Structure formats: structure tokens, C-alpha cells
């Protein structure tokens, strides 16, 4: 029943093509992909080469990107904990990759994943009974906000990051909504997006100054033997990794930039500790690292996109991002399928059994996560 998979975090590098503004300013491309796995940056100190699990060049389409991602969506439906996140400086294409462009003429990973989850479920309705829930959070100025409640109410709502006995992270107190179709899931997503904090900076007019976390859980009950699998898909669009000075941020925006930098540097510390196999990993230093604890060095199948711009004017940030991503590549996760037997699932269904009883019973009845599901 338990399928183990030890594996490195996979890192894909995506290069954004030069924008009209960059070209009109006289910038030139300094990034090139040698093959599907290697990227080079032309620096004043010579050509620097980096290797990743995949390099998606300037002409890569949203379809190309999703092709390599769809297997992970299958894993989430199968009962694995899956995390896909995008890292990079503002304007490098994180939101384009994760969400898509503004009018969704070029939908990104999130809308495609919503569709794929329901397509996979549709193909398996004769064998499984499925349920899908979602929650949506924004980490803004060190505060975790529930995007399914209106912004004024969200400020007074306390969300705590907790871990279940299997080490799976969940957001205690966050609203979870059930979705019966890809359309419903997408409508919930749009509703959440409308509650986000967005400010204009010099580098990217609509850059998001907060981290966006979309969580989707898939419960599947095997109709033959009654066993239940719980899959979790976390889709994370991180805020920009650049230094505050370059974006021209002031006052409120500087505060935001500082707190973004704080959480990303905490993420950097966690990545450093994991990649150098330190005994202590400082997950607790920041809410972002607490939230991503099961995705980095935990039990998730994790894919990181490092988004970079090809332009000469972003060269320093590009090098920093690529070095950061190189560290992430070294981290090993231990992915495990989350399943529980029919008996345990039934006990949970009827309620009245405390976690201790369920734990003891699970020792007799088989492996599985014991956590409070919505
Ligand atoms: P970020 O989220 O990293 O700040 P965005 O995803 O908002 O950056 O991208 C900045 C701009 O570049 C947007 O107008 C976006 O549509 C465009 N863009 C990003 N990546 C690509 C790409 N691969 N192809 C075409 N346009 C892109
Ligand atoms: Mg963005």
C-alpha cells in the first residue's frame, strides 16, 4: 500500500524571451540554452554554464512546459504530495508559467492542472470515487491571508501552519472549498485572485508583491477494496527575488520588499541546510518555509521552476537565481503515497474516534496518514 520514492527535487529552468522594452533600451540577450539540459550566461567574467533537469528556451510554449508537468498531476491524483513552485526575479515569467497571461490566452500550469485533475478523474470513475477540495493563501508582509474570505475579514482571521503525523503540512483555519468540476475549481481560483494585494513597481507593472499558495487535495476511494488515497497538489507562485533598490520600491513597498526578501532568504537558509545535509534545518524561521516544509526535504514530489530573463540588464539577478536553483537540485525528498485502509477511512467518516485511537488502529489495519481533513 505504501509506495516509497526517494528522489531529488527536480529543477526546470525557463528563459523568458526579450521584451519590447528591453530591446528598445538596447539590451541584448546574454542567456542561451545549449541543449535541453544546459543553460549558459555570458558574463564579463566569461561564459557560465548551469545544468538542470530541463531547460525550456525562449521559444518554449505553455504546452511544452505542461507536457513535463502533467505526470506530476497524475501523481497527485494517485495519492502523492506534489509541489510545483516558481522562483525568480520580478518580470522573469513566474506568473506567466504558473498562471498564464492576463486574459489567459496562454494559460499556465494552474488552469491546465485544474483541467487535467478532472480529466484523470473522469477516466477512472469506474474504479474510484473522487472528491476535490481547494484552499488559497497569500503570504503578504509576514501574514498569512485566506484568499477565500474578503480582504477585510482575512486580516482578523488566524491561520496556523500545522503538520499531521505523516509530516504533511496543512493550514489550520483556512477556508477549504469543494469543487465538482474544472470550471468550478477555476472559478474559485479567480475569486481568490481578486482578493490579492497587487502593487505596481518599475520592473513589472502588475507584479505580485506576495507569495501565492494554491492547495488542492484529492481524495480517492477505491470502489473495490474501500481503501482511500489522499493526494495534495501545492502550486506556488513566489514573489520576486530581486533586491529592493533595483525596483524603486518605497515606504510600504519597501516594507513589502523587505519581508519578501526575509522569507526568500529564510527559504535560502533552508535550501542551504538541506543541500549540505545539516542536522538542523531552520524551517520554523519563517511562514513560507513552514508552509513549504513538506515540499523541501519532506515527502513531496517537488518541481521548482527557476524563471530567468535573457536580457543583459538582468544578468546579475539571473546568475543569483541560477546559483540558488543549483542548490535546490541537490535536495533529496522522500515521496510517499498517502493511503489508508477502508476501516480507518470509515472510522473517520462516522467521527467520534480520536486521533490516538485512529493511530493505534492504523498500526493493525495498515499504513496511512492520520490527519484532520475538512
Ligand atoms: P513575474 O511573475 O516573474 O514577475 P510575469 O510572469 O508577470 O513575471 O512576466 C512578465 C511579463 O513577461 C508579462 O507580461 C508576461 O506575460 C511576459 N512573459 C513572461 N514569460 C513569458 C514567455 N515565456 N513568453 C512570452 N511572454 C512572457
Ligand atoms: Mg508574478
Ligand 1 mean position to 207 CA, how many Å? 10
Nearest CA residue ID for atom 18, ligand 1: 93
Q: Which helix (H) or strand (E) holds 27?
A: none
Q: Which superfamily, per CATH, for 2-340?
A: Kinesin motor domain (3.40.850.10)
Map out the domains of the chain as residue ranges: 2-340
Residue 90 CB less than 6 A away from ligand 1:
yes
How many helices (DSSP H) and strands (DSSP E) are in the chain? 12, 17
Per-residue confidence (pLDDT) for residue 332, from 0 to 100: 85
Bridge partners for 208 per DSSP: 198
Ligand 1 binding pocket includes 16 (Cβ within 6 Å):
yes
Distance CA 96, CA 56 (A): 13
For the Cβ of 336 lying below 6 angstroms from any atom of ligand 1, the answer is no
Q: Closest ligand 1 atom to the C-alpha of 99?
A: 6
Q: Whose CA is nearest to atom 17 of ligand 1?
A: 93
Tens-digit pLDDT profile for residues 185-226 = 999 999 998 888 654 443 343 345 788 999 999 999 999 999
Which grid coordinates are listed for 134?
481547494
pLDDT at residue number 264: 85
Kindly state the average pLDDT of the residues 279-289: 93
Residue 6 near residue 334, CB atoms below 8 Å: yes
Task: Give yes or no for residue 204 CB within 6 A of ligand 1.
Answer: yes
Q: What is the mean pLDDT of residues 117-124?
A: 97
Burial 190-220 (b: 16+ CB within 10 A, else e): eebbebbeeeebebbeebbbbbbbbbbbbbb
Bridge partner list, 198: 208
| Ligand 2 center from residue 212 Cα (angstroms) | 9
167-181, 252-266, 270-284, 293-307: range with lowest mean pLDDT: 252-266
Is the confidence at residue 68, as pLDDT, over 60?
yes
* Ligand 2 midpoint to CA 96 (Å): 7
Q: Which atom of ligand 1 is nearest to the CA of 86?
A: 3
Residue 308 Cα to ligand 2 middle (Å): 12
92 lines ligand 1 (CB under 6 A): yes
Q: Is 34 helix (H, G, I), strand (E, B) or coil?
A: coil
Residue 323 has pLDDT above 60, yes or no: yes
| Whole-angstrom distance, CA of residue 65 vs CA of residue 106 | 12
Closest CA to 319 of 259, 248, 241: 241
Read off the DSSP letter of residue 240: P
* Ligand 1 contact via 36 beta carbon (within 6 Å): no
Please give the distance of CA 155 from its chain centroid, rounded to a whole number.
23
Residue 170 C-alpha to ligand 1 middle, in angstroms? 30
pLDDT for the residue numbered 361: 52
- Is 227 strand, coil or helix? coil
CA distance 196 to 304: 23
CB under 8 A, 24+ apart: contacts of 143-152:
144/171, 144/287, 144/291, 145/195, 146/173, 146/174, 146/175, 147/191, 147/192, 147/193, 147/195, 147/196, 147/212, 148/174, 148/175, 148/177, 148/188, 148/191, 148/192, 148/195, 149/175, 149/195, 150/195, 151/195
Q: What is the mean pLDDT of the chain?
A: 85
The residue whose CA has the least distance to atom 5 of ligand 1 is: 93
Please tell me the number of the ligand nearest to residue 86's CA.
1
In angstroms, the CA 83 to CA 341 distance is 25
75-98 pLDDT, tens digit each: 999 999 999 999 999 899 999 999
**CB contact at 8 A, 117 and 216:** yes
Asked whether the predicted pLDDT for residue 5 surpasses 90, the reply is no
- Mutational test site, ligand 1, from 18, 96, 204, max ligand atoms within 8 Å of CB: 96
Q: What's the predicted TM-score (pTM) here? A: 0.87
CB of residue 88 inside a 6 A radius of ligand 1: yes
Which one of the ligands is nearest to 16 CA? Answer: 1
What does the DSSP assignment read for 123-152? HTTTTEEEEEEEEEEEEETTEEEETTS-HH
Which residues fall inside 5 Å of ion ligand 2, going by CB?
94-95, 208
Does 367 have pLDDT greater than 50? no
pLDDT at 150 over 80: yes
Q: Identify the residue with better confidence: 155 or 292.
A: 292
Amino acid at each position: 500500500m505504501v509506495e516509497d520514492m526517494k528522489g531529488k527535487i527536480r529543477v526546470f529552468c525557463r528563459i523568458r524571451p526579450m521584451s519590447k522594452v528591453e530591446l528598445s533600451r538596447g539590451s541584448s540577450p546574454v542567456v542561451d540554452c545549449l541543449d535541453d539540459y544546459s543553460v549558459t550566461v555570458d558574463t564579463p567574467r566569461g561564459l557560465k554554464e548551469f545544468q538542470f533537469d530541463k531547460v525550456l528556451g525562449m521559444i518554449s510554449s505553455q504546452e511544452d512546459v505542461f507536457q513535463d508537468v502533467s505526470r506530476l498531476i497524475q501523481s497527485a491524483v494517485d495519492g502523492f504530495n506534489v509541489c510545483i513552485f516558481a522562483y525568480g526575479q520580478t518580470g522573469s515569467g513566474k506568473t506567466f508559467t504558473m498562471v498564464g497571461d492576463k486574459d489567459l490566452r496562454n494559460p499556465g500550469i494552474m488552469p491546465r492542472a485544474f483541467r487535467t485533475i478532472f480529466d484523470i478523474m473522469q477516466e477512472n470513475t469506474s474504479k474510484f470515487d473522487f472528491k476535490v477540495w481547494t484552499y488559497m493563501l497569500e503570504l503578504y508582509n509576514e501574514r498569512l491571508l485566506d484568499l477565500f474570505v474578503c480582504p477585510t475579514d482575512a486580516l482578523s482571521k488566524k491561520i496556523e501552519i500545522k503538520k499531521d503525523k505523516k509530516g504533511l503540512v496543512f493550514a489550520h483555519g483556512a477556508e477549504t472549498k469543494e469543487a465538482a468540476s474544472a470550471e468550478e475549481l477555476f472559478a474559485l481560483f479567480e475569486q481568490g485572485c481578486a482578493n490579492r494585494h497587487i502593487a505596481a513597481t518599475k520592473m513589472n507593472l502588475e507584479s505580485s508583491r506576495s507569495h501565492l499558495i494554491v492547495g488542492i487535495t484529492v481524495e480517492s476511494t477505491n470502489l473495490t477494496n474501500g481503501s482511500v488515497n489522499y493526494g495534495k497538489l501545492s502550486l506556488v507562485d513566489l514573489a520576486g527575488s530581486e533586491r529592493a533598490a533595483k525596483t524603486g520600491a518605497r515606504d510600504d513597498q519597501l516594507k513589502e520588499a523587505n519581508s519578501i526578501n526575509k522569507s526568500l532568504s529564510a527559504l535560502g537558509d533552508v535550501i542551504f541546510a538541506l543541500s549540505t545535509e545539516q542536522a538542523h534545518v531552520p524551517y520554523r524561521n519563517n511562514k513560507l518555509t513552514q508552509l513549504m516544509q513538506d515540499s523541501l526535504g519532506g515527502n513531496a514530489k517537488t518541481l521548482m521552476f527557476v524563471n530567468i530573463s535573457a536580457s543583459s540588464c538582468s544578468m546579475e539577478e539571473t546568475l543569483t537565481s541560477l546559483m540558488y536553483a543549483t542548490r535546490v537540485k541537490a535536495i533529496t525528498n522522500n515521496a510517499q503515497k498517502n493511503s489508508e485502509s477502508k476501516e480507518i477511512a470509515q472510522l473517520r467518516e462516522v467521527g467520534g474516534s480520536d486521533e490516538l485511537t485512529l493511530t493505534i488502529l492504523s498500526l493493525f489495519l495498515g499504513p496511512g496518514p492520520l490527519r484532520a481533513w475538512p
